[in-house]
Amino acid sequence: MSEKLWGGRFSQDTDELVEKFHASIDVDKRLYESDIEGSIAHLKMLAKESIITRTEAEILIKGLGKVKEKIENNEIKFSASLEDIHMHVEDELGKVAGDVARKLHTGRSRNDQIALDVRIYLKSEIKTIIDLLVDFQKSLVRMAQKYPDVIMPGYTHLQRAQPVLFSHHMMAYYEMFKRDIERFEDCYKRTDVMPLGAAALAGTTFPLNREYTRELLSFSKVSDNSLDSVSDRDFIMEFISHASICMIHFSRLSEELVLWSSSEFAFITIADSFTTGSSIMPQKKNPDVAELVRGKTGRVVGNLMAILTVMKSLPLAYNKDMQEDKEPLFDTVDTLKICTDVYTRMLDNIEVHTQRMYDACKQGFLNATDLADYLVLKGMPFRHAHAVAGRAVAFALNQKKELNDLTLEEFRELSDLIAPDVYEFIAIEKTVARRISHGGTGFQNVKQAVSKAAGELGL
């Protein structure tokens, strides 16, 4: 006969392979703290509403404290036969507190219990992740402050396009991660909903005081529909989706660091402590950290596909499929945390080769748009100006020159609107300095953006 906590209606033991197959303890044991915290609140509420006595609640709460200690001291052997963390805690409580432990589960189901545990866990992890992302934003801003007026080529299609400030480039990432933080803050609101009391799916016949449980566990609101409470995993899908976008931001930055640290670009050097060598090629110094973050983005996006696919087609309310939500969630939390942390430290260990960046702006006609703008200021319609500047580029290419190297006579062959002031107009610094439209790369603009961000971050 089965001795399982749910074994009453069973006349056969669970097949050993099935036991192993459906156990989730290896994964959900990390929820032990949330599980115990939720149970303590549940007991206090049961006692307040006289569903159990105060003495019973006290014994059980003390017992749960001991169970927690035992878990933390590795004194509990986790086993597949007890399925999950809920069963382990309850079983252990029985050992330390006796039969009264059987009252803990009054008015509760593992379905609302697991929903609660994951929400408690994720609320705290979202806060940690936001803190880590803010730290990372600080290193971006520090980088912008360290190299305030450094000019580099800005790219479109990975072709040199127009000169921009390196600090402007860093601040672009600041904006991207600011949106990530906003998304996590938003997702926090929907995670911060207390589901306990929905029981298995329909609510319970016991006079539970859900509002009191909510207050004890510091949730913002109580969930409103019992079926939704036990079957909602939107907050997990949202979280992993936001995490995927955030990882994609890290991955894009990684790609740039990989390119910039190559001999072809040679824009930056990543410190030895944040790179690794090759076991065969002695000269190699590889940007592995950036590459690995780029690679781990694949894992997180994979986790998003996993959770979306698990949830697709699930009828209300709880289904065992949903047990598969935890591995992608935990892996996403772990991956995002370590990637953010490692990146924060790596940025502080990057040296920028400012001259090399500047020199790269001298080749590739990065000031061609400015030549067109010059002609517009002299009265030529932009489309004509664009065509003249295009002809200037073609001519210069032919002569193996840059636009600045063309003689005034050569320029005037192209348009007699061109005067000697053209040389200053298309000088690299000037092309940057003039871009003062809101959000542009002009020196003053970026300075202001950096000091605003520094203020927001308390730097």
Q: Where on the chain is the footprint of ligand ARG (CB under 6 A)?
A: 24, 28, 84, 110-111, 114, 318, 320, 322-323
CB of 80 to ligand ARG, least distance (A): 12
CA pair distance 86, 323, nearest whole angstrom: 13
Closer residue to ligand ARG, CB minimum distance, 312 or 320: 320
In DSSP terms, 384 is beta-bridged to: none
Closest CA to 81 of 25, 124, 41, 29: 25
Helix intervals (H) in 149-209: 166-191
Active site residue 278: yes
Closer residue to ligand ARG, CB minimum distance, 322 or 350:
322
| Shortest Å distance, C-beta 199 to ligand ARG | 11
**Rounded least distance, CB 230 to ligand ARG, Å:** 9
C-beta of 166: minimal distance to ligand ARG in Å? 48
Strands 151-156 and 193-194, bridge-based pairing = unpaired
DSSP string, 294-362: HHHHHHHHHHHHHHHHHHTTPPSS--GGGGGGHHHHHHHHHHHHHHHHHHHHHHTTEEE-HHHHHHHTT
Q: DSSP label at 276?
A: B
Q: By C-beta, is 85 or 216 nearer to ligand ARG?
A: 85
- Please tell me whether residue 446 adopts helix, strand or coil conformation: helix
Alpha helices in 158-264 (DSSP H): 166-191, 210-216, 226-231, 234-260
For every residue of 415-434, DSSP letters joined together read -TT--TTHHHHTSHHHHHHT
Rounded Cα distance between 117 and 36, Å, is: 9
Q: For residue 313, what are its two tokens?
A: 């087609």
- Confirm whether 86 is a catalytic residue: no
Sign of CA dihedral 149, 155, 158, 159: negative
Q: Which residue among 218, 262, 273, 278 is the active-site one? A: 278
- Which two structure tokens, joined as six digits, stand for 57? 């609640």
Residue 25 or 259: the one with the smaller Cβ distance to ligand ARG is 25
At closest approach, how far in Å is the CB of 21 from ligand ARG? 13
**CB-nearer residue toward ligand ARG: 28 or 180:** 28
* DSSP category for residue 15: P
Q: Taking the mean position of all CA atoms in its chain, how far away is CA 29? A: 24
CB burial of residue 424 (10 Å; 0-12, 13-18, 19+)? exposed
- As a dihedral over the C-alpha atoms of residue 281, residue 286, residue 292, residue 294, rounded to 10 degrees, the angle is -120
Return the C-alpha torsion angle 94, 212, 117, 2, nearest 10. 30
C-beta of residue 346 within 8 angstroms of C-beta of residue 250 = no
Structure tokens belonging to residue 404: 């600045």
- CA 178 → CA 140, 175, 456, distances in Å? 11, 5, 11
Q: Which is nearer to ligand ARG, 114 or 414 (CB)?
A: 114
Considering the candidates 157, 279, 313, 437, report the single residue annotated as catalytic: 157
Question: CB-wise, 323 or 441, nearer to ligand ARG?
Answer: 323
Least separation in angstroms between CB 2 and ligand ARG: 15
Closer residue to ligand ARG, CB minimum distance, 323 or 332: 323
Distance CA 190, CA 452 (A): 30
- Nearer residue to ligand ARG within complex by CB, 137 or 323: 323
Residues marked as catalytic: 157, 278
